[in-house]
Structure 1
């Protein structure tokens, strides 16, 4: 298990900017300048030029994937398609029963596809250690999305722009002859969780499941917690990412795993708990006698990690076991809804 966990040193480049950015989100409320502070794509230095790690540096095969958005922006992403040869070439790769009896194409289509939406700091290359866990341990196809204005992708980031980017990534998968046959799982950290929720709310029949870590109910609602003195000016935040209003649009049959760091110093744990309450209510039906839950519809799980901060929840004991179990159980049709504290 230890071999799958990303080291804090390796992961630091991608997470350092999150702390620097959210701690200054109040300054971002200056209406015309907030995009530059909410989306610090050039920090740490080099994140838009030479410091864009590639999967091959981690001994992972991959394809450079260029996606053209509907508004003409080129996104330069990474695609890691599965291969049954991994069991023979990577000692860390988990064997899949029956893989030797399948062709390469059949094996790709038999595995889930994870779409990774990262936090607001650094670039997608800084999250390769996380992709490695999905790729080798869970044997998933992995699409690492590079938002506009991040990494080597063109353009400038914004809420509308990232929404287009996410839709472009999903459209690529659903139009691909192989990935379109796979269950599509969205994995979002921090603002990437908001991107995931938004995408799933607009494509309810195309998403098999969501995994959300340390995300928020909305950006304006985060301001009073992060910077209490600027709370009265939160209305100036035009980058909304209003996840709380979008979760009800995701079907109650769509499994959701929520992973919350109780010690998160940037996004208070109350945000994840509030989102969990909305997630848990997806199966509500109104009756003459009040409210009752539609039995058998809710498939969600909420987990808290007592020592998890905003940037290190993903290395807490039990995190990846929970993710791996969730991915493995997606084929289970039995309803599951529980709350766990670690």
Structure 2
């Protein structure tokens, strides 16, 4: 009996060693795939099917636009859309807000363009910027904003492959374009970011604190590493391997307290727990610096909003419109500057 039991022990020991070695090997391979393949998980630019080949254009929605090709410093071509305002837009476009009574009749069309805010739209990680044209339409027609619809590298018809480092370059390239334009550089620049686009917006504002008039952030997160345990539970134990960090929590304090921020959260968000937005808002409120106007720092939660449909919730666009309208003093100052410089505009 003892000899028989003793005979089993080496076999069990060998099996255990083999199992451990196999598990270790698979674990190593799995971690390697996670480390090197995480960009495919975080940036599903081909989803839904056809998103890299089929991109809607604003004229599909009765909107005039310019195809804007931006060349990044590292040689990537980004194929974006630019929608520029016109003074008589309320007459020529169905659904446009008539704001002519609030406009100085002596302003030229160019001066009117410069008097309106410019919104840079940074979309989420799925689909392409063409899918967000209905959102741009609200900014353009209802709020009378100029709109730059960003197409990241590796998304839509833009060249390159997506990454955090690349997106940061893309965002800066878009802002630099606006700042170099004789007309649009006179406008108040507002960043609108959804999900990962919120992280892009926060990063850009933190690096250009005196160039951004305001931020509107929807369903974004504290950091990618802190999001993984809820978004991809099986990968939670190895979230430290995530090199696409998007650490917004560390960047919010670098945005001056004088910069207004609106945060829009879907209480039923199934991808980014609403606690992320609340925690970011606490950081927003805690910013130190010159004159934070609490009236221009707002948090709006939509009880039935999910990750992808918060923007379709009742009251969402009213909150956004009121927030942008509340920037009036800043926009008015820009308008005066633009009017004074009218003779040098294109």
- TM-score, length of structure 2 as denominator length: 0.83
In structure 2, the residue matched to 1:338 is: none
The 1:113/1:31 distance shift into structure 2, 3 A limit, reads same
In structure 2, the residue matched to 1:241 is: 246
Measure the CA separation in 2 of the matches of 1:99 and 1:133.
Answer: 23
Deviations 1:223-275 (A, max 9, x none): 12223343221001110000000000000000000000000010000000110
Deviations 1:28-71 (A, max 9, x none): 9700001111111111111111x200000000000000000010
In structure 2, the residue matched to 1:45 is: 49
Measure the CA separation in 2 of the matches of 1:38 and 1:169.
Answer: 22
Q: How many residues align?
A: 298
In structure 1, the residue matched to 2:344 is: none
Give the alignment partner of residue 61 of structure 1, picking from 60, 64, 68.
Answer: 64
Measure the CA separation in 1 of the matches of 2:32 and 2:270.
Answer: 18
Give the alignment partner of residue 284 of structure 2, picking from 268, 273, 279.
Answer: 279
Measure the CA separation in 1 of the matches of 2:157 and 2:43.
Answer: 15
Q: The residue matched to 1:309 in structure 2 has which SS?
A: coil
The 1:296/1:117 distance shift into structure 2, 3 A limit, reads closer
- Answer yes or no: is the 8 Å Cα contact 1:29–1:236 preserved in 2: no
Q: The residue matched to 2:285 in structure 1 has which SS?
A: helix
In structure 2, the residue matched to 1:307 is: 304
Deviations 1:293-326 (A, max 9, x none): x765543101111100001100111100000000
Q: Which has the higher helix share?
A: 2
Q: Give the gaps of 5 or more residues in structure 1.
A: 1-25, 285-293, 334-342
RMSD of equivalent CA atoms: 1.7
User: 118-127 or 81-90: which moved more?
Assistant: 81-90
In structure 1, the residue matched to 2:97 is: 94
Measure the CA separation in 1 of the matches of 2:292 and 2:174.
Answer: 31
Q: Does residue 145 of structure 2 align to residue 140 of structure 1?
A: yes
- Answer yes or no: is the 8 Å Cα contact 2:122–2:191 preserved in 1: yes
- Answer yes or no: is the 8 Å Cα contact 2:257–2:291 preserved in 1: no
In structure 2, the residue matched to 1:187 is: 192
Shift of 1:104: 1.2
Shift of 1:95: 1.5
Measure the CA separation in 1 of the matches of 2:268 and 2:283.
Answer: 22
In structure 1, the residue matched to 2:75 is: 72
Q: Which has the higher strand share?
A: 1
User: 217-226 or 256-265: which moved more?
Assistant: 217-226
Shift of 1:100: 4.3
Shift of 1:221: 0.1
Q: The residue matched to 1:115 in structure 2 has which SS?
A: strand
- Answer yes or no: is the 8 Å Cα contact 2:257–2:292 preserved in 1: no
The 1:122/1:296 distance shift into structure 2, 3 A limit, reads closer
In structure 2, the residue matched to 1:33 is: 37
In structure 1, the residue matched to 2:22 is: none
Measure the CA separation in 2 of the matches of 1:258 and 1:80.
Answer: 24
Measure the CA separation in 1 of the matches of 2:58 and 2:257.
Answer: 35
The 1:282/1:28 distance shift into structure 2, 3 A limit, reads farther
Shift of 1:85: 2.4
- Answer yes or no: is the 8 Å Cα contact 1:260–1:272 preserved in 2: yes
Measure the CA separation in 2 of the matches of 1:104 and 1:242.
Answer: 41
